[in-house]
Amino acid sequence: MKSVLRTTAVAAVIAAFVGTTAVVAAPTVSAVPEKVGNFQLTDHTRLAHELFYFKYAPAIVLMSQTNGSKLSRDAASELSKLQAAYKDKGVLFYMINSNLSDSRDAAAAEAKKQGFTIPVLMDELQLVGEQLNISREGEIFVLDPKAGFKVAYHGPLDDRFAKGTPNAKAKIADAYTAKAIDAVLGGSQVGNPRVDVKIGKAVSFPERGKTAQHANISYSKEVAPILQNKCVTCHQKGGIAPFAMDSYEVVKGFAPMMLESVMSERMPPYFADPHIGNFKNNHALSAEQNKTLIHWLEAGAPRGSGEDILKTQASEAPEWPTELGKPDVIVKLPSFDVPSSGTVEYQSMRVDNPFKEDTWLKAIAIKPGDRTVLHHVTSNHSPDRSKPAPKIPGGSVGSYTPGAEPQIIADNTGAPVPAGGRLNYSMHYTTTGKAAHDATEIGYYTLKSPPEYIKRSTVISDFSLKIPAGEARHQEIAYLEFPADAYLYTLYPHAHYRGWHVELKQKTPDGKEKMLISLPKYDFNWQRDYDPVEPILVKAGTKLIAKWVYDNSTHNPANPDAKINVTWGEQSWEEMMYFRVNYRWADETRTNLRNDLQTKLMESRTIGALDDNADDLVQVTELTGAMAGMKARFADLDVNKDGGLDAKELAAGNISRATARQLRDTDIDL
Ligand code: HEC
Per-residue confidence (pLDDT) for residue 278, from 0 to 100 = 96
> pLDDT for 144-159, tens place per residue?
999 999 999 999 999 9
Atom of ligand 1 nearest to the CA of 283: 5
- Calculate how far, in angstroms, residue 527's C-alpha sits from the geometric centre of ligand 1: 14
CA distance 25 to 27: 6
Q: From residue 529, how far is each of 366, 516, 644 by CA, in Å?
A: 14, 14, 36
Per-residue confidence (pLDDT) for residue 81, from 0 to 100 = 97
* Better-scored residue on pLDDT, 341 or 392: 341
Residue 76 — pLDDT band, cuts 50, 70, 90? very high
Is ligand 1 within 6 A of the CB of residue 234? yes
Average pLDDT over residues 435-463: 94
Of 6, 227, 274, nearest to 125 by C-alpha is: 274
CA distance 557 to 148: 18
**Is the model's pLDDT at 2 over the cut of 60?**
no
16-20, 49-53, 432-436 — which is least confidently predicted? 16-20
> pLDDT for 107-149, tens place per residue?
999 999 999 999 999 999 999 999 999 999 999 999 999 999 9
Separation of CA 77 from chain center? 30
Atom of ligand 1 nearest to the CA of 258: 29
Q: From residue 645, how far is each of 38, 48, 624, 663 by CA, in Å?
A: 47, 35, 14, 19
Of 466, 360, 367, nearest to 413 by C-alpha is: 360
Per-residue confidence (pLDDT) for residue 15, from 0 to 100 = 36
CA distance 524 to 466: 19
Per-residue confidence (pLDDT) for residue 659, from 0 to 100 = 56
**Residue minimizing CA distance to atom 25 of ligand 1:** 261
Atom of ligand 1 nearest to the CA of 233: 5
**Is the model's pLDDT at 22 over the cut of 50?**
no
Per-residue confidence (pLDDT) for residue 667, from 0 to 100 = 43
Question: What integer best gives the mean pLDDT of the chain?
Answer: 90
Average pLDDT over residues 19-23: 36
Dihedral angle of Cα 94, 100, 106, 108, to the nearest 10 degrees = 20
**Is the model's pLDDT at 101 over the cut of 60?**
yes
CA distance 351 to 333: 8
Average pLDDT over residues 55-61: 98
Contact 546, 493 (CB under 8 A): yes
Per-residue confidence (pLDDT) for residue 480, from 0 to 100 = 95
Amino acid in the structure at residue 89: K
* Better-scored residue on pLDDT, 238 or 289: 289
Q: CB neighbours of 99 closer than 8 A, spacing ≥ 6?
A: 66, 67, 137, 203
**Is the model's pLDDT at 5 over the cut of 60?**
no
**Is the model's pLDDT at 59 over the cut of 80?**
yes
**Is the model's pLDDT at 669 over the cut of 70?**
no
Q: From residue 432, how far is each of 63, 366, 562, 574 by CA, in Å?
A: 43, 21, 21, 18
Q: CB neighbours of 201 closer than 8 A, spacing ≥ 6?
A: 66, 69, 71, 72, 136, 137
Number of residues that make up the chain: 670
* Better-scored residue on pLDDT, 326 or 651: 326
Burial class (CB in 10 A: 0-12, 13-18, 19+), 370: middle
Q: What percent of the chain has pLDDT over 70?
A: 93
48-62, 336-350, 542-556 — which is least confidently predicted? 336-350
Tell me whether the omega of the peptide bond preceding residue 268 falls within 30 degrees of 0, making it cis.
yes
Residue 36 — pLDDT band, cuts 50, 70, 90? very high
Per-residue confidence (pLDDT) for residue 12, from 0 to 100 = 37
Burial class (CB in 10 A: 0-12, 13-18, 19+), 340: exposed
Per-residue confidence (pLDDT) for residue 515, from 0 to 100 = 98
Average pLDDT over residues 423-428: 93
Ligand 1 pocket test, pick from 52, 229, 231 with the greatest ligand atom count within 8 Å of Cβ, gives: 231
Q: CB neighbours of 22 closer than 8 A, spacing ≥ 6?
A: none
Residue 662 — pLDDT band, cuts 50, 70, 90? low
**Is the model's pLDDT at 203 over the cut of 90?**
yes
CA 359-363-366 angle, to 5 degrees, is 110
Amino acid in the structure at residue 63: M
Contact 33, 149 (CB under 8 A): no
Residue 359 — pLDDT band, cuts 50, 70, 90? very high
Burial class (CB in 10 A: 0-12, 13-18, 19+), 592: exposed
Average pLDDT over residues 501-511: 97
Is ligand 1 within 6 A of the CB of residue 285? yes
- Calculate how far, in angstroms, residue 294's C-alpha sits from the geometric centre of ligand 1: 15
Average pLDDT over residues 161-175: 90
> Phi/psi class of residue 223: alpha, beta or left (left: φ > 0; alpha: ψ in -120 to 50)?
alpha
Separation of CA 598 from chain center? 30
Q: CB neighbours of 284 closer than 8 A, spacing ≥ 6?
A: 230, 268, 270, 272, 274
Is ligand 1 within 6 A of the CB of residue 5? no
**Is the model's pLDDT at 13 over the cut of 50?**
no
The alpha carbons of the chain give a radius of gyration, in whole angstroms, of 28
Per-residue confidence (pLDDT) for residue 556, from 0 to 100 = 95
